[in-house]
Structure 1
Amino acid sequence: ASVTVADMDWALFTPGYTMARRRPLIEDVPEVAAILRRADTVEDEAEDGGRAGVELRSRLAGLTEPEQQALLLALVRGEAAQVLAHGSTAEITPTRPFKELGFDSLTAMELRNRLSKATGLRLPATLVFDHPNAQRITELLTTELADQDGRPGIADVLDIRRELTRIGEALGSVAPDPQAREDIVDHLRDLITQLSTAEQDGATDLEAATDDEIFDFIDRDLGVS
């Protein structure tokens, strides 16, 4: 064993060294402890949902799914540009790797902290390494925001619409079979009843609807035609 004296820049070294897991070797160093406390404060503020996070959710609520995704992508690109001191987001294209843009451990942590504060989410310390471009982080934010709201979010709605489109395309193959068509219509009535419960004023009279009216309802109101 030997003793080594080093002039450590703890503010630079600590974020990267502790990013993946705890490092008991340095946690008792006063400068390191202070840095880790500040990092915990950032996480706690994000988890509590700051003012910026509330405002972001309010903006997203009034947008369509494509507009929501565009807003989140613009947020990620904008914060990345700020971290890298770029004058614009031109170089930060959706699929360009952060590593290629010059991100290191310190700037990766800064981006994660900025996005946590902007969204009110507790994002992982390894965010930039696990999601290595703006598009990938946008997809994560989409999922996390939907899960936190406790309701079908952007990703869930897109999955449902894709599935409905696939079902709509498959319906033509069962049209010649009256029994199969009747079974499908009965099942669709049940599903549409669930969708209509929350909107009683505009609900379709499903009990009185014919099979053709049911299929028309799917094509028109669920957008699978």
Structure 2
Amino acid sequence: MAPESAVGALHQALAGDATLLTVADVDWQRFAPAFTVRRPSPLLGELADVQRALEQHHHGVDGGGRGGDAAAQLRARLASASESQQNRILLELVRAEAADVLGHATADAVRPRRGFVELGFDSLMAVEVRNRLARHTGLRLSTTLLFDFPSPAALAHHLRAELAQELSAEASTSVTAVLSELERMLSGLSTDDVDGVDITERLQGLLTTWSGAQVRLASPPPEAGEPTAAAMDSDLESATSDEMFDLIQREFGKF
């Protein structure tokens, strides 16, 4: 202990006239979350320093770090990666952080399917890894994270599932924002200033492509004997004008 702290504790001990006294220099910000990781502690629960430490811990780490550079960089990598690549990226992250907390020079010692407890993790180490992953991902992560998902592979799979939902929501929000901006720009344009035909054709082409993708997602696979989309496209290409008009009239009626 620092001399100032030790002398101050000695003064309190002599002045308090306690029959049994323990003096300890505790980093509550680090110790309290780990000590209460599985259940609240009646021994420490009424200490003001512990209450402040737990409150700051929950509001700080559980609040996520979505604005942080590390989280932004990771999310950018994941957004442009396939599902298998996302799993690999997150597994590498979990193994690297776990290895660092355990004191290993590389992540090789952290086997993907080996349990964290078997690897030598205690509650303090588990909370430290959880805090690091919260900063890297920007997710709200439970204090019992490493006990709920007890191996690096299981934890990486969980992180990917959580991030996939947020990335999908963020992408949808971004597309909506871009469409709103496009709508604003088009409403302010004059047909004298731009090639309206070219813009219209490109917008119609984009809408056709998008509509076709949605139909493919929603449509069930063709049954046996039912013509495929490729076959129908081929028939349309070889159809005469009269056959095309007959098809339009059957499908949409007269207009």
TM-score category, normalised to shorter length:
0.5 to 0.7
1:6-37 Cα offsets, whole Å, 9 max, x none, are 34545464223321344465234243234324
Q: Which position in structure 1 is the counterpart of 2:37?
A: 19
* Match 1:120 to one of 138, 143, 146: 138
Q: Is the 8 A contact 1:20 1:126 kept in 2?
A: yes
**What is the TM-score normalised by the length of structure 1?**
0.63
* Match 2:227 to one of 206, 212, 221: 212
1:146-202 Cα offsets, whole Å, 9 max, x none, are 222345x9xxxxxxxxxxxxxxxxxxxxxxxxxxxxxxxxxxxxxxxxxxxx86237
1:93-113 Cα offsets, whole Å, 9 max, x none, are 110111111100100000000
CA–CA distance in 2 between the matches of 1:64 and 1:75?
16
Write out aligned runs for 1:183-222 (5 A). Answer: 200-201=208-209, 203=212, 211-214=226-229
Write out the 4+ residue segments of structure 1 that deviate beyond 4 Å after TM superposition: none
* Match 2:118 to one of 100, 108, 116: 100
Q: Is the 8 A contact 1:14 1:35 kept in 2?
A: yes
CA deviation after TM superposition for structure 1 residue 77, in Å: 0.5
**What is the TM-score normalised by the length of structure 2?**
0.56
Unaligned runs of 5+ in 2: 1-18, 172-205, 217-221, 233-255
Give me the CA root mean square deviation.
Answer: 3.6
CA deviation after TM superposition for structure 1 residue 211, in Å: 2.9
* Match 1:6 to one of 12, 16, 22: 22
CA deviation after TM superposition for structure 1 residue 130, in Å: 1.0
Larger mean CA deviation between 141-150 and 110-119 belongs to 141-150
CA–CA distance in 2 between the matches of 1:65 and 1:216?
32
Write out aligned runs for 1:122-161 (5 A). Answer: 122-151=140-169
Q: Structure 1's 45 and 216: CA in aligned 2 closer, same or farther, altered over 3 A?
A: farther
Query: What letter corresponds to residue 85 of structure 2 in structure 1?
Result: E
Counting matched residue pairs gives: 171
Q: Structure 1's 200 and 143: CA in aligned 2 closer, same or farther, altered over 3 A?
A: same
Q: Structure 1's 199 and 132: CA in aligned 2 closer, same or farther, altered over 3 A?
A: farther
CA deviation after TM superposition for structure 1 residue 55, in Å: 1.5
Note if 1:82 corresponds to 2:96. Answer: no
1:58-83 Cα offsets, whole Å, 9 max, x none, are 11111111111100100110111111
Note if 1:61 corresponds to 2:79. Answer: yes
Which SS does the other structure have where 2:104 is aligned?
coil
